[in-house]
Amino acid sequence: MSKPKPFPAITGSCVCNTVRYRLLTSPLYCYACHCADCQKSSGGAFGWFLNIEAYNISIISPTHPVIVAREKKPGALDRHMECPKCKTELWSNNVLGTAICSIRVGTLDFPSLMEPDVHSYVGSKVEWIKLPEGAKTTEKEVNHKELWPKSSLKRLEICMARVAETTRKKQAALAEPQEGTTGGGGEGDAEGTGGEGEKTPTAVEFEDKDAEDDEAFEKRFKETEKALQERLEKLSLKLEEEEVTKKARELTL
């Protein structure tokens, strides 16, 4: 079995560079949303996001982002992480709950590494934006069950199973407090992302996966590896190109 290659250093930051982060693996999905809400909240032509598990974002700066939750319009709670200094929004949570983040792609150091897998709400797309030929589009929101690649759906399942397991452990610890221990200690979550252990609607769906034995888990994980590796190689190539272009730019300055 070949050793998995280390994931290329895909990093990002806020505008003032106080909060810096790194992705520990390739994203689950990337999309551009042309809905009116994304246009208003970004002040731009569309919202551009990539989904990744909270525990696959590592904060590499001494300052961590802060969680901000506000009701932007009735019934629509926006929960995002932002730089405490310059207030740049780095990522938010969507219908999948707090364990999955929607990173704002523009906060990556090399945003052009990412290309939308789909363009959603194309009905409200500004007219002067011409989508690349053959680009996948949808009139509605991104339905992950229909659109995400199989490998990403498997990762989502693993992530949700972990959330359910952490929740179960926390509840068990709360049910029988003993020897002065406090419940919790979520394993594996990236610090400061707040993605651990909170009960999400989707977590319930996956609770029966708790029973899965290590061997089956290992097998499913291996299956996702190949698909990931392909995505990873594509990203590495693009990253190298970006760095060469950057160097060339620096030399001509």
Q: Confirm or reject binding of residue 86 to Zn ion (CB under 5 A).
A: yes
Of 44, 161, 165, which is closest to residue 105 (Cα–Cα)? 44
C-beta of 86 vs 95, nearer to Zn ion: 86
C-beta of 58 vs 138, nearer to Zn ion: 138
137: amino acid identity, one letter: T
Instruction: Return the residue matching tokens 């300055």.
Output: 253
Which range binds Zn ion by CB under 5 A, 41-49, 96-104, 193-201, 208-216? 41-49
C-beta of 57 vs 228, nearer to Zn ion: 57
Instruction: Return the residue matching tokens 């690349």.
Output: 132
Among 7, 11, 18, 238, binds Zn ion (CB under 5 A): 18
- 28/173 Cα distance (integer angstroms): 32
Q: Confirm or reject binding of residue 16 to Zn ion (CB under 5 A).
A: yes
C-beta of 15 vs 204, nearer to Zn ion: 15
Which range binds Zn ion by CB under 5 A, 1-9, 25-33, 177-185, 225-233? 25-33
Ramachandran region of residue 121, left (φ > 0), alpha (ψ -120 to 50) or beta?
Answer: left
Parallel, antiparallel, or unpaired: how do β-strands 89-94 and 76-82 relate?
antiparallel
Q: Confirm or reject binding of residue 168 to Zn ion (CB under 5 A).
A: no
Residue 138, CA distances (Å) to 80, 124, 135, 253 in order: 25, 11, 10, 42
CA dihedral 125, 127, 129, 135 (to 10 degrees): 60
C-beta of 92 vs 167, nearer to Zn ion: 92
Q: Confirm or reject binding of residue 142 to Zn ion (CB under 5 A).
A: no
Q: Confirm or reject binding of residue 96 to Zn ion (CB under 5 A).
A: no
Which range binds Zn ion by CB under 5 A, 67-75, 86-94, 176-184, 228-236? 86-94
Rg (Cα) of the chain, in Å, rounded? 19
Q: Confirm or reject binding of residue 105 to Zn ion (CB under 5 A).
A: no
Token pair of 205 as six digits: 């769906």
- 67/89 Cα distance (integer angstroms): 10
Among 14, 113, 118, 160, binds Zn ion (CB under 5 A): 14
C-beta of 11 vs 18, nearer to Zn ion: 18
Count of residues binding Zn ion (CB under 5 A)? 10
DSSP string, 226-249: HHHHHHHHHHHHHHHHHHHHHHHH
Q: Confirm or reject binding of residue 38 to Zn ion (CB under 5 A).
A: yes
C-beta of 83 vs 100, nearer to Zn ion: 83
| Smallest separation, CB 89 to Zn ion (Å) | 10
**Given the rule CB under 5 A, which residues bind Zn ion?**
14, 16, 18, 33, 35, 38, 47, 83, 85-86
